[in-house]
Amino acid sequence: MRDNTRAGGAEIPPVLARLGSAGGQYFKIVAAGTRSIRRELLRLTFLVELFGESATASALEEVMKTGHVGAEYIEYVLRHKRGLIPSAEPLYLGDPALDSIALREPDLGLYDRLVSPAMTRDPGDLTQQQDRKDPQS
């Protein structure tokens, strides 16, 4: 196996550094392979934001133990094997005036009232249609 370190001795990205030693190992494996480092980092950042650092780190370790690499495998472990539901923290803008704004849940029923009630027709029971088309039976 040739040494194909596309990272070029770069430091471990912050999102992977937060995942501990498994994050560092993961970065080395991704950098040596053919996967897009940028895409993997983007997806892992997203998973950390949705599921938290500890859950993502343990899922990353579990995936690496099986010999797999890829954010999609990590997401599979988090969502399906562990049954976790994403729970992103609220977005804070850093301005107290903006952060204090609270909006109620929008009433989307307005859109139902604006659109005509029946856009398509229900075809009904197929057996009744066959009986009407084929009077010989």
Task: For the chain of 137 residues, list the mean pLDDT of each consecutive stretch of 10.
Answer: 49 80 86 88 91 92 88 93 84 87 84 69 60 59
Whether the CB-CB separation of 54 and 12 falls below 8 Å is answered with no
pTM: 0.58
CB atoms within 10 A of CB 26: 24
Residue 86's contacts (CB-CB under 8 Å, 6 or more residues apart) are: 50, 51
Q: What is the DSSP letter of 72?
A: H
Evaluate whether 72 touches 40 at the Cβ level (below 8 Å). Answer: no
Whole-angstrom Cα distance, residue 26 to residue 16? Answer: 8
Helix 53-65 × helix 37-51 angle, to 10°: 130
